[in-house]
């Protein structure tokens, strides 16, 4: 699992590549720490994310809660059809801005 974070306009962009499974969540939490401390809107680019486990969904939810507490947003872009189906089944499509 690879996470790349860059500044894009007024937001921080995190590109996720690989499988966000239980084993990868701990490292991605560490990678996301600067995102959650920056006080900027966050865009999660999931174009190259091939799998997300329930632990990965919990991590996304944690990021969303952190951002909402600061009055900031989290947008998820480029979800594959399979991942979009998972987000729809779990109701996450109603929690996040999806593009």
Mean pLDDT across 62-74: 95
**Is the per-residue pLDDT at 97 higher than 90?**
no
Distance CA 93, CA 30 (A): 25
pLDDT of residue 47: 98
Strand partners of residue 5: 14
Instruction: Report the CATH number at residue 17.
Output: 3.30.750.24
Residue with tokens 């174009």: 47
pLDDT of residue 50: 97
**pTM for this entry:** 0.94
Give tens-digit pLDDT for 4-63. Answer: 999 998 999 999 999 999 999 999 999 999 988 999 999 999 999 999 999 999 999 999
pLDDT of residue 56: 97
* Number of domains the chain contains: 1
Ramachandran assignment for 78, one of left (phi > 0), alpha (psi -120 to 50 degrees), beta (any other): left
**Is the per-residue pLDDT at 81 higher than 90?**
yes
* Cα–Cα–Cα angle for 94, 11, 33, rounded to 5 degrees: 85
Residues spanned by the domain of 50: 2-98
**Residue 48 in contact with residue 81, Cβ under 8 Å?**
no
């Amino acid at each position: 699992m690879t996470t790349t974070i860059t500044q894009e306009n007024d937001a921080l962009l995190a590109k996720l590549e690989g499988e966000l499974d239980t084993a990868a969540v701990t490292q991605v939490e560490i990678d996301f720490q600067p995102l959650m401390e920056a006080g900027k809107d966050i865009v999660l680019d999931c174009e190259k994310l091939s799998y997300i486990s329930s632990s990965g969904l919990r991590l996304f939810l944690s990021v969303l809660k952190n951002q909402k507490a600061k009055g900031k947003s989290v947008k998820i872009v480029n979800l594959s059809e399979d991942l979009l189906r998972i987000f729809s089944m779990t109701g996450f499509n109603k929690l996040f801005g999806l593009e």
